[in-house]
Structure 1
Amino acid sequence: MIAGEALLDVFIDANILFLLGYAFWLAVRAGMNGFGLRYAYGTQLRLLNAVFAAIVCAPFIALGYDTLQQSGMAQNVNVNLSDMVVSYYLNGGFEMKSSSFEGLVLARDTFMLNVLHGDGIAARTVIAFFLVGLVIGLVRLTYSVFCLCRIVVSGYAWRSVGRIRIRVSDRTLVPFSTRGWRNYYVVIPSQMLSKEQELKVALAHEFQHIRQGDLEWEVVLEALKPFFFLNPAYRLWKRQVEHLRELNCDSEVLSQGRINISTYCDSLLSVCQRTLRKDRAMVLAVPKVTLVTADRSSLFGGNGGFLKHRIQSILDARRPAHQRLVFMAMAVPLLAAVTITTIAIQRPGDWSQDRLMLSTVVNLDRLDEINRLSTFGRLRN
């Protein structure tokens, strides 16, 4: 039960951190836009990935903080949010019935105990809903990986460049890249072999994804997706990463000067047009990184979708200078905020003086209520 409680505690912390971390990221992005860094896609992508890595490492951050406190090095440092709220309440910060406030403070502990023991209809409903969603997500992921492996294995081995294997397949309409345990794979549609410019763009684009490490991040994001399907911030996070990596890849490929802008944009439009056909393999096969996908939900709407945004960025973007310096300047406060938040949302390890005082106040209020009811009963008699 202790192991289950620890896992549930980590899972709840991760969900909270994804919500708050995405909010921090939106604030940083707004600041970058205000300082003229709107087109610093590589910096934005690295910042988002850095925050993601910090969230994944959150249990170790919390463990390190506990170790420092137990050793006495951080004994007088208390940034626990729950303890601070209790102290603020006891100092008259706001009015609230003591028993109701105690219930609010202990809501997380109560929820965890109910879920771990399966007490109550609400807890059983949450457990059932989560397990059903998790199983569906894992089955979908497993089947998608199977489809992806089948496409890669059945493809014709065309060329090899180091650890990169280029394959030609007639089972896909869009070029994409993926990876195995050791090697990377770039899969090219067979009809693209006759289109020299499109082939050049596709290979340059997918090779750039491999250089940027986008495939590794995609694997991690897809693997965790079934566990965080209830968290809207995770979906937004993954979508933001997908957009930024494409925008950054476009910028990096064009900055090399080997492909002109018109050829690049024409290739994106041509490949996107083919994705409007029914290509079930491309819908199911994940994790992978494609050259371009058609956003059917927005292509027929008013904004033209993400492809329109990509082309506008290609035409308008200017590569900002000193991106590494900008990254360091933004990463330090952003990661500091995530670290402090990680420590602040932890469950209190023991009963502090303020919590003992709150418990005393609650007991006194209950005794006062009992005495009042007893006195009222005696007066009536």
Structure 2
Amino acid sequence: MTLLSLLFDIYVDLNVTLAITALVWLTAKLLMGRFANRLAFTLQLGLLNGLFAIIIVSPAIVAAYQHMLAAQVVPATLSVNLADYAVSQYLRGGIALPAQDFQALLGLRSRMTESILTMAPGFGAGVVLFLAAGFSYFAVKLIVSLVRLDRMLSACHLWRRNGRVRLLLSDHALVPFSARGLIHHYVVIPSDLLAEPDDLRLVLKHEFQHLRQGDVAWEVGLELLRPFFFWNPFFYYWKSEVERLRELACDQKVAEDAHVDLRSYCLCLLRAAQAGLRKRQELIARDSTGSVAAVALLEVHERLLRRSPAQKLRRRVEALMEPGRVRPHWGLTALAVLPMVAVIFLTALSIQKPADWSQDRLMLSAIVNLERLQVINTFSQRPQ
């Protein structure tokens, strides 16, 4: 197996694993919605980020597990592979298909992979062009966003600094937002917010909470991965869930502060939304806060096929009014999370390409050869 083929297989496996995990999360989300005592948003966000981290490292874990199987550290009976299981079921009569058709179905992924990697005319070349065009578009878009964000940060005025955190004042920012560089973290505040000390205090609490939660780092990571997963709808669903939960989790933590008045915080969000929309209409600007490496207080831009800013703001205010959400003991949380993690690993293991040969595959190959001989004999026995 060449390096290119190996990398492409990992790429495909990551996309499939992400899709299955997103469906598992959606199922868990629907189940959580049926309970009266719902999980805290901070816990949900932590679970979501943790599951995504497991998805990213799953190829390395799968490779280590397969190495242990090859070294007989793990018994061969613990091998998990969907293709091998299908072959076993076929030999037991569980799948009613001609042997040649079944073998062709098993080799479909290998043939598609070879077609793509060799850029075979038609399907292979079309897929390569599609992936290359999509990657290039989103990579260029990412670079442009980074440049725009860097220009905006450079145009801001340094207000205060504390360690690696820089507080900046901007005359152009639509709403407060957080960003980060390789070393420093930035909190950008619209200059006119200085005239509202109460709102300024709440906004700073909100943005500092984003930094504590590591929301900006996760946003950077997801944006960097977008060019690779641009065609996968489950990636956009996952990113949307992260964006939703990080704001709800941040609001929840700020509202838990005994010195924060809940009504004042909700009104602060409304005033920030009004100010952002007013600036947007006045400037008729593009996303002047940048679409990468930044986590804004709230969104004031319409996005196609996504919930409007007004709907998101309403959901945040309603969430703040909900009764206290539960934070179960870590042991109970682990028991609930283990099945989800197991699904990720089983999915990543089961979709791997099977070994080049096995006893079951040799038997399947023998059946295919017998079918071919039967066809040849049938033709030869026809009357002249």
Shorter chain as denominator, the TM-score bin is over 0.9
Select the residue among 352, 355, 358 that pairs with 1:349. 355
The code of the aligned residue for 1:365 comes to E
Q: CA deviation at 1:273?
A: 2.5
Cα gap change, 1:300/1:113 in structure 2, threshold over 3 Å: closer, same or farther?
A: closer
Deviations 1:36-91 (A, max 9, x none): 34342112111111111111101111111112112212232221111001111121
Q: How does 1:287-302 map to 2 (within 5 A)?
A: 287-294=293-300, 296=302
The answer to whether 1:131 aligns with 2:137 is: no
For 2:248, the equivalent position in structure 1 comes to: 247
For 2:45, the equivalent position in structure 1 comes to: 45
Q: How does 1:218-297 map to 2 (within 5 A)?
A: 218-276=219-277, 277=280, 278-282=284-288, 284-294=290-300, 296=302
8 A Cα contact 2:173 2:289, kept in partner: no
Deviations 1:169-208 (A, max 9, x none): 1121111001111111000111211122221221111100
Cα gap change, 1:111/1:232 in structure 2, threshold over 3 Å: closer, same or farther?
A: same
Cα gap change, 1:32/1:325 in structure 2, threshold over 3 Å: closer, same or farther?
A: farther
Secondary structure class of the residue paired with 2:33: helix
8 A Cα contact 1:172 1:281, kept in partner: no
8 A Cα contact 1:61 1:343, kept in partner: no
The answer to whether 1:70 aligns with 2:76 is: no
Q: Equivalents in 1 of 2:246, 2:308: separation in Å? A: 24
For 1:88, the equivalent position in structure 2 comes to: 89
Secondary structure class of the residue paired with 1:101: helix
Select the residue among 339, 358, 380 that pairs with 1:333. 339
Q: Which runs of 5+ in 2 are unaligned?
A: none
Q: CA deviation at 1:297?
A: 5.4
The code of the aligned residue for 1:50 comes to G
The answer to whether 1:7 aligns with 2:7 is: yes
Q: CA deviation at 1:144?
A: 0.2
Q: Equivalents in 2 of 1:200, 1:325: separation in Å? A: 37
Q: Equivalents in 2 of 1:303, 1:11: separation in Å? A: 34
Q: How does 1:198-237 map to 2 (within 5 A)?
A: 198-237=199-238
The answer to whether 1:363 aligns with 2:369 is: yes
Q: Equivalents in 1 of 2:289, 2:158: separation in Å? A: 23
Q: Equivalents in 2 of 1:170, 1:61: separation in Å? A: 48
Q: Equivalents in 2 of 1:185, 1:302: separation in Å? A: 27
Identity of aligned residues (%): 37
The code of the aligned residue for 1:7 comes to L
Q: Equivalents in 2 of 1:282, 1:324: separation in Å? A: 41
Cα gap change, 1:16/1:145 in structure 2, threshold over 3 Å: closer, same or farther?
A: same
The code of the aligned residue for 2:186 comes to Y
Secondary structure class of the residue paired with 2:73: coil
Q: Equivalents in 2 of 1:301, 1:341: separation in Å? A: 31
The code of the aligned residue for 2:269 comes to L
**Which is further off, 138-147 or 275-284?**
275-284
8 A Cα contact 1:204 1:253, kept in partner: yes
For 1:178, the equivalent position in structure 2 comes to: 179
The answer to whether 1:155 aligns with 2:156 is: yes
For 2:318, the equivalent position in structure 1 comes to: 312
**Which is further off, 351-360 or 124-133?**
351-360
The code of the aligned residue for 1:287 comes to A
Q: CA deviation at 1:93?
A: 0.8
Cα gap change, 1:82/1:147 in structure 2, threshold over 3 Å: closer, same or farther?
A: same
Secondary structure class of the residue paired with 1:178: strand
Q: CA RMSD in A?
A: 2.1
Q: CA deviation at 1:326?
A: 4.3
Q: CA deviation at 1:257?
A: 2.1
Cα gap change, 1:75/1:324 in structure 2, threshold over 3 Å: closer, same or farther?
A: closer
Cα gap change, 1:297/1:280 in structure 2, threshold over 3 Å: closer, same or farther?
A: closer
The code of the aligned residue for 1:101 comes to F
Q: CA deviation at 1:338?
A: 0.9
8 A Cα contact 2:38 2:325, kept in partner: no
8 A Cα contact 2:217 2:293, kept in partner: no
Deviations 1:88-129 (A, max 9, x none): 112111211222211211111111111111113111011001
Secondary structure class of the residue paired with 2:158: strand
Secondary structure class of the residue paired with 1:320: coil
The code of the aligned residue for 2:239 comes to K
For 1:119, the equivalent position in structure 2 comes to: 120
**Which is further off, 258-267 or 49-58?**
258-267
Secondary structure class of the residue paired with 2:179: strand
**Which is further off, 241-250 or 97-106?**
97-106
Q: Which runs of 5+ in 1 are unaligned?
A: none
8 A Cα contact 1:299 1:305, kept in partner: no
8 A Cα contact 1:28 1:330, kept in partner: no
The code of the aligned residue for 2:68 comes to L
The code of the aligned residue for 1:361 comes to I
